[in-house]
Structure 1
Amino acid sequence: MGSFVRALTESEKSLAREAFGAAIDLAPVLLIGWPFRRAFVAGRWFGRDWIVWPQAQLVSDFAAAPVRMQGILIHELTHVWQAQQGVNLLFAKLKAGDISASYAYRVEPTCRWDALNIEQQAMVMEHRFHCRRGRPTPGDRTFYDTVCPFET
């Protein structure tokens, strides 16, 4: 288990750059442990790029963690990127909802990044990360590389 508050490791930053290229500012990102079972991004509510993570699962380096956990980190970093783009995560989350359908997206040629809600965007990024590692995902690499706006 990692410390209660920490910055991203260099290896974690490499994972993030693989997913986002130079589109995300990683310097201010902090991982903060908390006693509950769910991760979330506080966004700019507090003027910070914080990822609040379940303390029991906060490892010292996600790059050395199972790929499933790395994918969750990419998912949460998508919310950091959204906040850095000016998205109010609280209102966007309320709009998206928090049921499984809120995270689902259609794998079809007409799928567009800007038509996805914040959770769908984060799932697309998480699945793209897994797809690039040969893990099963709803879409193929061409789909994710077409939908995702990041040059990597």
Structure 2
Amino acid sequence: MEEQKEGSLRLLTLNEVKLAKSVFGDSIEYPKVWIHHDSYLPFGLQNKDTAMTPNGELYFRQHYRSDFAVTAPPLQHLFIHEMSHVWQRSRGMNVIARGLMSWAVSYRYSLDGRPVRRYPMEQQAQIIADYFILNAHGYMVWNNLRNSGDITLDGDITEAVIKQQYQKAMQNFPWG
């Protein structure tokens, strides 16, 4: 599929819906989710490296792809992180208000026994995306993404420990 030029938008592909459903089940209204190859902010003020999902729609600039389901794990991680904001908004979270401060918050987290719903917005999205990578691509890919900074878990990162901690944090996810 040919990449679209900036300024375009599209609905999720069937592959992206399948990928997102592997994480969020039927808790998102997928036919209503648009992906923009554009800046959400006026005059192109959205940083080219930054993805934003303030209103239930995803905005990518440099990282836009025509089908995130067939991309490398780092871009799938980004896609699931942004879809987490769609999911949060559908559960009633004011993503725009919380997102205003996203530039100032840490995406880093520790798995300390809390369920994912007890973490702040960006950490929730990170935990969901990080757990997706571990389940979909395995520990080696997860660890490589942690070493590159995409995965933001702090603490003991041995495989057996993190699998148990993620399972506890993600228990009953996605809740309705």
TM-score normalised by the chain length of structure 2:
0.73
Alignment RMSD: 2.0
Paired residue type of 1:63: A
Runs of at least 5 residues in structure 1 that lack an aligned partner in the other structure: 44-48
Q: For 1:65 and 1:113, how far apart are their aligned partners in 2?
A: 26
Number of residues paired by the alignment? Answer: 142
Does residue 129 of structure 2 align to residue 122 of structure 1? Answer: no
The 1-side partners of 2:93 and 2:51 are apart by 18
Distance in 1, matches of 2:23 and 2:78, equals 12
> How many percent identity over aligned positions?
25
Given that residues 9 and 37 in structure 2 are in contact (C-alpha distance below 8 angstroms), is that contact kept between their aligned partners in structure 1? Answer: yes
Aligned residue for 1:15? 19
Provide the residue aligned with 2:134 in structure 1.
131
Show the 5 A alignment for 1:80-119: 80-94=86-100, 97-99=102-104, 102-108=106-112, 110-119=113-122
Secondary structure of 1:40's aligned partner: coil
Q: 1:78 to 1:33 in 2, by over 3 A?
A: same
Three-state SS of the structure 2 residue aligned to 1:41 is coil
Identify which of structures 1 and 2 has the higher relative contact order when contacts are C-alpha pairs closer than 8 Å and 6+ apart: 1
Structure 2 match to 1:2: 4
Segment of structure 1 superposing worse, 71-80 or 23-32 = 23-32
- Report the 3-state secondary structure (helix = DSSP H, G, I; strand = E; otherwise coil) of the residue aligned with 1:32: strand
Q: Does the alignment pair 1:150 with 2:174?
A: yes
User: In terms of Rg, which structure is larger?
Assistant: 2
Distance 2:122 2:20 in 1: 18
Q: TM (normalized to structure 1)?
A: 0.83
